[in-house]
């Protein structure tokens, strides 16, 4: 059954070429998520903090940011996404993942306008959300290319 779901994921859409900046302060979760993204053909850079994520931008330009809500040093994924967007000078697509169920945290995430995914995120759900975001990135790039050409 696990093999069937893996095959179905491959057939449901192609994530090859999607550059993801993954920000997660739990090393085990970071490693597992990175492995999953790589297995789907994504280019993935990882960071465990906001500062590390900003440093990754020196050599990596993501199409999308996937950030845990709670990061080290009392920082949040929302702050990281805002800082990355500011550094790149554009509204980069971003998703927030959280295991936090505190009403205040959920309100903050909801107020950000970003999509919020709750841990544990089923692989099929993550793949579908990433595919939707990737198609939007590709469509925007195609519109820009045709307008420039």
pLDDT at 110: 82
| CB contact at 8 A, 5 and 123 | yes
The model's pTM is 0.87
Q: What is the pLDDT of residues 67-104, one digit of tens each?
A: 999 999 999 999 999 999 999 999 999 999 998 888 88
> What residues does 96 pair with on adjacent strands?
67, 116
| CB contact at 8 A, 140 and 147 | no
| CA atoms of 40 and 90, how far apart (whole Å) | 26
Place of tokens 């505190």: 102
> What residues does 98 pair with on adjacent strands?
118
Quick one: average pLDDT of 12-30? Answer: 93
Structure-derived torsion over alpha carbons of residues 69, 71, 75, 80, reported in degrees to the nearest 10:
-70
């Amino acid at each position: 059954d696990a093999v069937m779901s893996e095959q179905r994921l491959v057939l449901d859409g192609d994530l090859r070429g999607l550059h993801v900046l993954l920000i997660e302060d739990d090393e085990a979760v970071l490693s597992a998520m990175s492995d999953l993204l790589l297995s789907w053909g994504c280019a993935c850079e990882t960071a465990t903090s906001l500062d590390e994520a900003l440093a990754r931008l020196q050599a990596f330009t993501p199409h999308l940011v996937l950030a845990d809500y709670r990061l080290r040093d009392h920082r949040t994924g929302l702050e990281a996404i805002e800082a990355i967007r500011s550094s790149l000078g554009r509204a980069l697509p971003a998703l927030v993942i959280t295991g936090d169920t505190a009403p205040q945290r959920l309100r903050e995430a909801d107020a950000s306008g970003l999509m919020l995914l709750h841990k544990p995120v089923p692989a099929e759900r993550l793949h579908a959300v990433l595919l939707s975001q990737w198609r939007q990135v590709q469509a925007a790039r195609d519109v820009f290319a045709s307008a420039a050409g």
